A and B are shown apart, each in its own frame.
Chain A
Amino acid sequence: MTDDPLRSGSRAPDAAAARLAALLGQCALGNQAAFAELYRATAPKLFGVAVRILRREDWAEDVLQECYVSVWSHAADYAVAKIAPLTWMVSIVRNRCLDWLRRPHLESGGEEYDIVAESWAAEAPGPMEQLLAAADAGALARCFAHLDSKQRQSIALAFFHGLSHSELAAHLKEPLGTVKTWVRRGLERLRNCLSAETA
């Protein structure tokens, strides 16, 4: 996917992605200097991703530490991932964050929800707006813009803030079933649009 906005952050997206891929290759061979460079190049973005989902910097630090240790020891796996290097790393971070949120004592409390509502409201501009505004975000932003506003909002809240279906329903003050449908239809449309764009 040449339109991958994770790779278009810089003026030479492919060069940046190639650099990260090369660094991962070196990490697979035990090169600590390459790992340090990889960290410098990616940590602010990954920390941003983790803080948004976990909403606590201390948790985000713990998760990121585990993620980087995992990237270091599994860098060779990147090769078979067949996706952009930053996408691969973001997936690792998001999955760890979501696993973290699955811990039982975190899932029960309604307390989290308030923080979410606040942080979402206080956000200016939110990641969704940034995504839509990014001139170089390419196919993904175009497809995202094609979604209904409810679908877009649900997907953005789930993706950027790690909201579950029930948290979405509470936040959007809609029945659970309705929210689930928005998410599912939104994902379907996004997928169809992206495959049409990249076909």
Chain B
Amino acid sequence: MARYADPRLREWLAAEYVLGTLRGRARARFQSLLKYDAALRGVVAEWESCLTPMAAATAEIEPPARLWRRIAARIGAQPPRSRWWTSLALWRTLAATGLTAVLALGVYVGNLPRPEPPIAMVAVMSDDKARPAMVVSWPQLKDARDPHIRVHIVQDHPTMAPDTSWQLWVLPGGKAAPIPLAVVGIEPIQHIRLERSLRKNVWQAWGIALSVEPKGGSPTGAPTGPVIFKGQCVRVM
């Protein structure tokens, strides 16, 4: 393995790998190295950025229609990926792309398992580094008999300081004061019953924020501690 430490060799192997001239066992060996060597993957990625754009000069060839049918069958045959949104990797990945989390929302709706009512509004809340930290969503509230809001913590390692609570707030928009919504825990998925009196506020919310409060929630009815997550509401239905 020691020979793979030589930076010139690594550079050259990566280049030939991307070009396609690294063949046979050398290629297989290089691929197995790649699995464990992130830095080497980086070198490969640089060469891909360098060489692969040449493919733009390749003439396009329309594939036969059956190809799409075969692919669609393969995709459709997959069992529905239930609870896919519990994948933290997915949310982290979205954050890493710089794709706005809002982009995700259009499809957030369509993938819910049957028992849950469809989401009507959602707020993807980010931390101070603009990474998605929490997703709060709720269904149509008008006709719901027993409406709940759904809290999904997508942060890496949520931690709550001892003797504190996390409190959610409805931000009505403009200069209106935040309205206390609920105290939440740090479990990844939580369903919180929505007080009847809050329905209208929630339905018209501009955004949702989460502040750190003394145990049990803000004593004053207004946020007293730092706001650690916040995000704008998006109506998706």
Q: Number of B residues contacting the other chain (C-beta, 8 Å)?
A: 57
The residue in B19, B53, B99, B111 that gathers the most chain A C-beta atoms within 10 A of its C-beta is B53
Q: Determine if B74 and A69 form an interchain contact, defined as CB atoms under 8 angstroms apart.
A: yes
Cα A119 to Cα B29 with chains together (Å): 31
User: Does chain A have a CB within 8 A of B226?
Assistant: no
Residue in B49, B81, B104 whose CB lies within 8 Å of A25: B104
Kindly provide the distance from the CB of B68 to the nearest chain A CB, expressed in whole angstroms: 6
Q: For the complex, would chain B's binding face be called helix, strand, loop or mixed by DSSP majority?
A: helix
Residue in B49, B61, B68, B93 whose CB lies within 8 Å of A77: B93
Q: Which residues of A contact B103 (CB under 8 A)?
A: 22, 25-26
Q: Determine if A158 and B50 form an interchain contact, defined as CB atoms under 8 angstroms apart.
A: no
Cα A183 to Cα B57 with chains together (Å): 19
Q: Number of A residues contacting the other chain (C-beta, 8 Å)?
A: 80
Q: Which residues of B contact A79 (CB under 8 A)?
A: 93-94, 96-97, 99
Residue in B18, B45, B53, B96 whose CB lies within 8 Å of A4: B53
Q: Determine if B19 and A102 form an interchain contact, defined as CB atoms under 8 angstroms apart.
A: no
Q: Determine if A68 and B55 form an interchain contact, defined as CB atoms under 8 angstroms apart.
A: no
Kindly provide the distance from the CB of B122 to the nearest chain A CB, expressed in whole angstroms: 13
Q: Determine if A83 and B12 form an interchain contact, defined as CB atoms under 8 angstroms apart.
A: no
Q: Determine if B99 and A6 form an interchain contact, defined as CB atoms under 8 angstroms apart.
A: no
Q: Determine if B28 and A191 form an interchain contact, defined as CB atoms under 8 angstroms apart.
A: no
Residue in A4, A21, A61, A190 whose CB lies within 8 Å of B67: A61
Q: Determine if B16 and A187 form an interchain contact, defined as CB atoms under 8 angstroms apart.
A: yes
Kindly provide the distance from the CB of A92 to the nearest chain B CB, expressed in whole angstroms: 10
User: Does chain B have a CB within 8 A of A128?
Assistant: yes
Given A69-B71, A187-B15, A127-B104 contact (CB < 8 Å): no
Given A28-B93, A102-B24, A49-B58 contact (CB < 8 Å): yes
Q: Determine if B60 and A164 form an interchain contact, defined as CB atoms under 8 angstroms apart.
A: no
User: Does chain A have a CB within 8 A of B75?
Assistant: yes
Q: Determine if A90 and B52 form an interchain contact, defined as CB atoms under 8 angstroms apart.
A: yes
Residue in A5, A7, A31, A61 whose CB lies within 8 Å of B106: A31
Q: Determine if B60 and A47 form an interchain contact, defined as CB atoms under 8 angstroms apart.
A: yes
Given A26-B107, A43-B63, A76-B27 contact (CB < 8 Å): no
Kindly provide the distance from the CB of A98 to the nearest chain B CB, expressed in whole angstroms: 5
Kindly provide the distance from the CB of A143 to the nearest chain B CB, expressed in whole angstroms: 9
Given A25-B97, A31-B107, A102-B24, A44-B62 contact (CB < 8 Å): yes
Q: Determine if A28 and B90 form an interchain contact, defined as CB atoms under 8 angstroms apart.
A: yes
1/0 contact string of B82-121 vs chain A (CB within 8 Å): 0011010110011011010001101110110000000000
Kindly provide the distance from the CB of B69 to the nearest chain A CB, expressed in whole angstroms: 10
Cα A128 to Cα B111 with chains together (Å): 45
Given A76-B89, A159-B51, A68-B71 contact (CB < 8 Å): yes
Residue in B52, B63, B97 whose CB lies within 8 Å of A78: B97
Residue in B20, B68, B72, B74 whose CB lies within 8 Å of A162: B20
Please report A residues at the B interface, Cβ cutoff 8 Å: 1, 4-9, 21-22, 25-26, 28-32, 34-36, 39, 43-45, 47-49, 51-53, 57, 60-61, 64-65, 68-69, 72, 76-84, 87-88, 90-91, 94, 98-99, 101-102, 107, 127-128, 130-131, 134, 137, 140, 144, 155-156, 158-160, 162-165, 168, 183-184, 187, 190-191, 194
Q: Known A-B contacts: A1-B49, A30-B110, A102-B28. Give 4 more (CB < 8 A).
A: A79-B96, A83-B48, A134-B57, A184-B16
19 A-B pairs whose Cβ atoms sit less than 8 Å apart in the complex: A8-B56, A26-B107, A28-B93, A29-B111, A51-B61, A65-B70, A76-B93, A79-B97, A84-B49, A90-B55, A98-B23, A102-B23, A102-B27, A127-B54, A159-B51, A160-B54, A165-B21, A183-B21, A194-B50
Please report B residues at the A interface, Cβ cutoff 8 Å: 12, 15-16, 18-21, 23-24, 27-28, 45, 47-64, 66-68, 70-72, 74-76, 81, 84-85, 87, 89-90, 93-94, 96-97, 99, 103-104, 106-108, 110-111
